[in-house]
């Protein structure tokens, strides 16, 4: 839980352009480096310790080491972006290692999983990312994005990759070909806002850890609502 919360905190601070406090940054980066698998050059999709706390059923790790131990761009690509932003706290060989691993893995993909794509998009938003690295990632994602975005509005009621998750800014390099879908998605987001100002979640934990889910649901509702408001502001 700590890992996910820390990475979400970085997402929020970046989205709101908030100034990062030195104590928060140094402590967070030290934690990221501590949890990194340096031998494999990545972070697990979910830390082993997460199994000891209430969690979504799809994060059950029992007898699934093959799923969670293998290299994934989720969350490694996203983490790399934060290390670039805070590289004064990071050994240069770590950034070099992770950059090579991310580029190598991404280059070999013929299709990409939704959450891996989202992590790569967060990496692309890193202002301190070297331009040659940015260009390589952008060119590859341009090909991989085709066909993965849910452009049918009936799919947006469920868990899917919406156009605005890929084109989250009017100046996005991935806008071409998605203009109509983005416009429709904007209308959908505006119309689906709840009366209390929040937005509905598209997932739940079912009957798993019901008390913990109620708390997690409120927290996720706040995160999603803030993301939607910032998104609409960028397109206003």
The tens digit of pLDDT for each residue in 73-108 reads 999 999 999 999 999 999 999 999 999 999 999 999
pLDDT of 20 above 80: no
If one counts every other C-beta atom within 10 angstroms of the C-beta of residue 40, the result is: 13
3-state secondary structure of 42: strand
CA distances from 216 to 7, 39, 59, 114 (A): 16, 33, 14, 22
Identify the weakest region by mean pLDDT among 5-19, 26-40, 81-95, 199-213. 5-19
Q: Is 70 exceeded by the pLDDT of residue 2?
A: no
Most distant CA atoms of the chain, gap in Å: 50
Query: Is the distance from CB of 86 to CB of 74 less than 8 angstroms?
Result: no
Kindly report the backbone phi and psi dihedral angles of residue 186, in degrees, each rounded to the nearest multiple of 5, phi listed first.
-60, -45
> How far apart are the C-alpha atoms of 34 and 24, rounded to whole Å?
15
Percent of the chain predicted with pLDDT > 90: 78
Exposed, middle or buried, 74 (CB in 10 Å: 0-12/13-18/19+)?
Answer: buried
How many CB atoms are closer than 10 A to CB 135?
11
- Whether 223 shows a pLDDT value over 70: the answer reads yes
pLDDT (0 to 100) of residue 139: 98
What are the backbone angles phi and psi of residue 53, rounded to the nearest 5°?
A: -120, 160
Q: Half-sphere exposure of 3 toward its Cβ, with a 13 Å CA cutoff?
A: 20
> What pLDDT is stored for residue 1 in this prediction?
59
């Amino acid at each position: 839980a700590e890992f996910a919360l820390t990475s979400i905190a970085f997402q929020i601070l970046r989205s709101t352009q908030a100034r990062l406090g030195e104590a928060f940054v140094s402590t967070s980066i030290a934690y990221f480096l501590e949890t990194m698998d340096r031998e494999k050059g990545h972070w697990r999709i979910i830390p082993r310790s997460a199994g000891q706390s209430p969690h979504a059923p799809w994060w059950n790790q029992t007898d699934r080491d093959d799923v969670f131990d293998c290299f994934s761009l989720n969350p490694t690509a996203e983490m790399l972006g934060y290390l670039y932003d805070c590289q004064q706290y990071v050994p240069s060989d770590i950034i070099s290692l992770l950059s090579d691993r991310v580029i190598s893995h991404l280059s070999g993909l013929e299709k990409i999983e939704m959450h891996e794509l989202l992590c790569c998009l967060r990496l692309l938003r890193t202002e301190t990312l070297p331009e040659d690295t940015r260009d390589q990632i952008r060119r590859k994602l341009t090909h991989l994005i085709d066909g993965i975005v849910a452009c049918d509005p009936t799919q947006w009621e469920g868990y899917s990759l919406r156009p605005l998750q890929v084109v989250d800014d009017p100046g996005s390099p991935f806008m071409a070909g998605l203009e109509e879908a983005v416009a429709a998605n904007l209308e959908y987001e505006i119309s689906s806002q709840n009366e209390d100002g929040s937005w509905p979640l598209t997932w739940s934990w079912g009957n798993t850890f019901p008390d913990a889910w109620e708390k997690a649901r409120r927290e996720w509702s706040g995160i999603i609502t803030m993301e939607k408001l910032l998104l609409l502001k960028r397109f206003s």
